[in-house]
Structure 1
Amino acid sequence: MEILVPIDGTDASKRALDFAIRMADGMSATLHVVHFTNKETDATDAILDDARSRLKDAGYPAESELTTIMVDIWTADRVGKEILQLVEDRGFDHVVMGHHEVGTVERAIFGSAAETLLRSEGVPMTVVP
């Protein structure tokens, strides 16, 4: 089984990665971690360093590959569509991602990457609050 974990540095994303690590271990699955951004910054490095640390603490090799994918328009809906495309292109079996609660106005304007995947109904996924 191939599990994809999109991360964004939020607490929900960190909980999702921790959950996915346990899930992958329990299922002898392969874990793939990806971060989407429109500009690589020190924050990007911090997000990836945190993920590497979590993977290392769980016994994954220190050189575990994490992917950064650049997107031109930075909205949750756009990121959700990019995740769907990545799943289709690479044939991931499952997606684990965090979802942080936002207000009605923010959801109406920005949407949610997790909700975009849930609405697609074609991607098995686990949403970690």
Structure 2
Amino acid sequence: MDVLVPVDDSDCSFRALGFGADMAARYDADLHVVHFADEESNATDAVVERAQRVLDARDADADPEVSTNVDIDVDVRSGGRAGSEILDLVDERGYDHVVMGHHGAGTIERAILGSAAETVLRSEKVPVTVIP
């Protein structure tokens, strides 16, 4: 089994990473961690370093990856776009399960901002565990 955990700089995505690492260990699955960005920067480095600390604390065997092959406009509905990029990666690499965080935004916030987790869930392409 291959488990994908997309991370951003939010606390909920790192809680999801901890859950995903534990899940992968429990089911002897391969863990894959990805951060989507339009380009690598100090901010992406910080996300990867934080992800590596979470993985090291759980003795997980995974290397966080930064995917810059995306065109994400962070100013306009990036949640839906990030969700589409996650689904594209699921299709390309054949992941069996996705574990991701969700900010817990209400109906109005989701309508305005979109939600990567909601996009992945609604696709029904792959089982998803959402961690608040």
Q: With the length of structure 1 as denominator, give the TM-score of the two structures.
A: 0.92
Tell me the CA shift for residue 60 of structure 1: 3.0
Contact preservation (8 Å) 2:17, 2:99? yes
More deviation in 106-115 or 75-84? 106-115
Q: Which residue does 2:126 correspond to in 1?
A: 123
Secondary structure of the residue that 1:101 maps to in structure 2?
coil
- Give the Cα–Cα distance (whole angstroms) in 1 for the partners of residues 52 and 20 of structure 2: 14
Unaligned runs of 5+ in 2: none
Match of 2:66 in 1: 68
Structure 1: distance between partners of 2:105 and 2:37: 20
- 2: CA distance, partners of 1:115 / 1:6: 14
Corresponding residue number in structure 1 for 2:58: 58
Letter of the structure 1 residue corresponding to residue 99 of structure 2: V
Runs of 4 or more, structure 1, over 6 Å off, are: none
Residues 57-108 of structure 1: CA distance to partner in whole angstroms, max 9, x if unpaired?
11135xx422111222331101100100100110000000000122433311
2: CA distance between counterparts of 1:80 and 1:48? Answer: 19
- How many positions carry a matched residue from both structures? 127
In structure 1, list runs of 5 or more residues that go unmatched: none
Q: Which moved more, 1:78-87 or 1:68-77?
A: 68-77
Find 1:83's aligned residue among 83, 86, 89. Answer: 86
RMSD: 1.3
TM-score by length of 2: 0.90
Please say if 1:6 is aligned against 2:6: yes
Whole-Å separation in 1 of the counterparts to 2:6 and 2:72: 17
Distance in 1 between the 2:103 and 2:72 partners? 20
Q: Percent identity?
A: 54
